[in-house]
Amino acid sequence: MGKGGNYVTVAASEVEELRRKNGEMEKAVEDMRKEMLQLWRRTQVAEEAEERLCSQLAELEAESLDQARDYHSRIIILMNELSRLSSSSDSGSP
């Protein structure tokens, strides 16, 4: 069979090597696909957590604004009361 037989033998070993490499690459692609899916799921969880945190932050901001307004009103009331008491004690002075 001479050269022709050698060529078939080389080609068969090359085909086997290509099949082996193809199998390795298919496994690598499947591993990457699984990893990508896991990353996508983790991203979804992170986005949902971010939305919850933003919502909670908005609620806290609204609550703190209400408290600040209440404190400001209370300070105004106390200042007016102090002013009224101060002026009534001044009018009672000789």
pLDDT computed for residue 11 by the predictor = 87
Buried b (16+ CB within 10 A) or exposed e, 52-63: eeeeeeeeeeee
CA distances from 18 to 9, 13, 22, 44, 84 (A): 14, 9, 6, 38, 97
Name the pTM for this structure.
0.56
Q: Does 2 have pLDDT greater than 70?
A: no
36-78: pLDDT as tens digits: 999 999 999 999 999 999 999 999 999 999 999 999 999 999 9
Examine the pLDDT at 7 and tell me if it is beyond 70.
no
Residue 1: the pLDDT is 45
Between residues 25 and 88, the one the model is more confident about: 25
